């Protein structure tokens, strides 16, 4: 049987950037075996050491999850489409059944007039919006369009959780902030902008890191929680807190040119853990800071989250409960997959084992220790590297960033060998050479140094702080990104 396997953005590196691969196979297992035979580097990302499909990788045949069919033995027919859906971080639900006891003044009636003449909203619906309390987790890429549109729509109380400051690198996508706000608290910047859009909206700023200690208390005073986070520990924390409190979780995630959106509401459908029972190992899925994101993409996904939030408040339309929308900006294609509640889910299943919030850093394998510690004897500072250059020392400088990063800026004399290509390019390096490895911040190069040490290289050092610290300590003309 000839079938097409859709490849998500994080895995396209291993298929020559192809977004789909045609393979032969009568079952899902046979098709996936053909895929990894043609592209061997995919195997470790799809399968664990025991050869089982990883729990954070879901496979769909057309729009059906194979976990609810015959799993790997699910039969295929010519023309079927398999979708690999890794974690990246139906029905109508209403949070307000009747119009609450709030009123609109003359200015508000004029402001919301285009809503009021819609029978799906009208005066009753606008009052629901005014009485609604929505909590946005994050004032970044997803939180920016979400907060702007919910404020413009007239959501009466908007809570925002964030503890970051505005950075120049945020401005390419975080449209709620301006150049003049660089260095300011994101909450102050967002609150100021929302007040300009709609002074009738009450903004509650929660300048804190969301944690197991404060999540339940924070969430309890809101009707709907909207997840605009960018890391897995917080995603699982948001999900679990929403399940325990019985609140809808409006989900969105983004990476490069791809986005996902859904509504997880355990009272009426699956939760996030039903889709992804466990997170990927730390470092396996690149963050937006490492992998990049198209600036327009969070606008699209954030607006979808805003629409779903408004629909939940109004009790109108068909929400994304039980459905996952995938968006590919390069193809300008939306796809929809069905989600089902997992009866064995540890928090919303028939016999839940999670009855309180846990340590999500530990659950996701994240520690407070540095991600890679190569040891002082395997590190070199930018000033020490500059001294080696000035004295004419014989050494090899290896840049393990991606070609797109190398084109932005580079250290003179560096040789580009992207980290993921190191295994097949070891012949480019000699164990007799002194080797200095660098990346953007020192994290990826630290992993590269560990790999080289295991491969028998002993005269190898990691540039502490990467090219960012080189710019600070040695050459300010090298741009940061």
Picking from 210, 259, 260, the residue whose alpha carbon sits closest to that of residue 239 is 210
Catalytic residue among 271, 345, 348, 439, which? 439
Structure tokens at 45: 């990302």
Give every CB contact of residue 54 below 8 A, 6+ residues apart in sequence: 45, 46, 47, 48, 280
Q: Contact at 8 Å (CB) between 366 and 383? A: no
Which pair of structure tokens corresponds to residue 68? 């609810």
Element (H, E) at 261: strand 258-264
Question: Closest Cα partner for 252 from 284, 215, 298, 309?
Answer: 298
> CA angle, corner 295, sides to 292 and 300, nearest 5?
115
Checking DSSP bridges between strand 396-399 and strand 379-380, what pairing results, if any?
unpaired
Nearest to 293 by CA among 267, 266, 257, 319: 257
Q: Are 10 and 88 in contact (CB under 8 A)?
A: yes
- How many residues are there in the chain? 481
260 strand-pairing partners: 253, 326
As a whole number of angstroms, the distance between CA 140 and CA 28 comes to 38
**Residue of 179, 206, 180 lying closest to 191 (CA atoms):** 206
Rg of the Cα atoms in the chain:
25
Catalytic residue list contains 288: yes
Q: Cα–Cα distance between 469 and 162 in angstroms, integer?
A: 27
One of 271, 288, 364, 409 is an active-site residue; which one?
288
Is residue 348 part of the annotated active site? The answer reads no
Query: In this structure, what are the phi and psi dihedrals at residue 204, rounded to the nearest 5 degrees?
Result: -100, 115
By C-alpha distance, which of 369, 392, 391 is closest to 443? 369
Instruction: Choose among 99, 105, 147: nearest CA to 126.
Output: 99
User: Residues 262, 251: contact at Cβ < 8 Å?
Assistant: yes
Q: Which helix (H) or strand (E) holds 111?
A: helix 106-111
Q: Is 389 helix (H, G, I), strand (E, B) or coil?
A: helix
Which positions are annotated as active-site residues? 288, 439
């Amino acid at each position: 049987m000839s079938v097409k396997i859709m490849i998500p953005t994080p895995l396209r590196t291993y298929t020559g950037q192809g977004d789909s691969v045609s393979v032969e196979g009568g079952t899902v297992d046979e098709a996936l075996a053909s895929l990894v035979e043609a592209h061997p580097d995919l195997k470790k990302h799809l399968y664990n050491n025991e050869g089982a499909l990883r729990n954070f990788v879901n496979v769909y045949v057309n729009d059906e999850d194979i976990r609810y069919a015959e799993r790997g033995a699910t039969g295929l027919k010519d023309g079927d489409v398999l979708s690999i859906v890794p974690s990246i971080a139906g029905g109508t639900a209403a949070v307000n059944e009747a119009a609450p006891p709030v009123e609109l003044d003359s200015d508000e009636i004029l402001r919301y007039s285009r809503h009021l003449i819609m029978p799906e909203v009208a005066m009753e619906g606008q009052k629901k919006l005014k009485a609604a309390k929505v909590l946005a987790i994050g004032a970044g890429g997803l939180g920016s369009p979400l907060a702007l549109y919910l404020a413009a729509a007239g959501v009466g109380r908007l809570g925002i959780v964030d503890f970051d400051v505005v950075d120049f690198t945020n401005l390419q996508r975080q449209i709620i902030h301006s150049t003049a706000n660089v260095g300011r608290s994101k909450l102050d910047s967002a609150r100021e902008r929302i007040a300009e859009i709609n002074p009738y909206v009450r903004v509650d700023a929660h300048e804190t890191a969301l944690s197991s200690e404060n999540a339940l208390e924070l969430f309890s005073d809101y009707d709907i929680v909207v997840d605009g986070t960018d890391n897995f520990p917080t995603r699982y924390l948001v999900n679990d807190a929403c399940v325990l409190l019985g609140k809808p979780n409006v989900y969105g995630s983004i990476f490069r040119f791809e986005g996902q959106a859904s509504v997880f509401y355990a009272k009426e459908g699956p939760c996030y853990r039903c889709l992804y029972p466990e997170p990927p190992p730390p470092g396996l899925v690149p963050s937006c800071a490492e992998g990049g994101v198209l600036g327009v993409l969070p606008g699209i996904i954030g607006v979808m989250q805003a629409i779903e939030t408004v629909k939940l408040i109004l009790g109108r339309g068909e929400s994304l409960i039980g459905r996952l929308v995938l968006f590919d900006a390069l193809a300008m294609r939306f796809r929809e997959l069905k989600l089902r509640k997992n009866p064995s889910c540890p928090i919303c299943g028939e016999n839940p084992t999670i009855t309180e919030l846990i340590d999500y850093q530990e659950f996701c394998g994240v520690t407070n220790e540095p991600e890679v510690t190569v040891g002082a004897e395997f590190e070199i500072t930018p000033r020490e590297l500059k001294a080696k250059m000035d004295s004419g020392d014989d050494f090899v400088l290896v840049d393990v960033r991606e070609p797109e990063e190398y084109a932005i800026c580079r250290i003179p004399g560096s040789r580009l060998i992207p980290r993921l290509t190191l295994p097949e390019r070891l012949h480019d390096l000699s164990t007799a050479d002194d080797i200095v490895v660098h990346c953007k911040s020192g994290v990826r190069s630290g992993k590269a140094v560990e790999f080289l040490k295991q491969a028998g290289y002993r005269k190898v050092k990691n540039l502490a702080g990467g090219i960012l610290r080189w710019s600070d300590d040695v050459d300010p003309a090298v741009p940061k990104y």
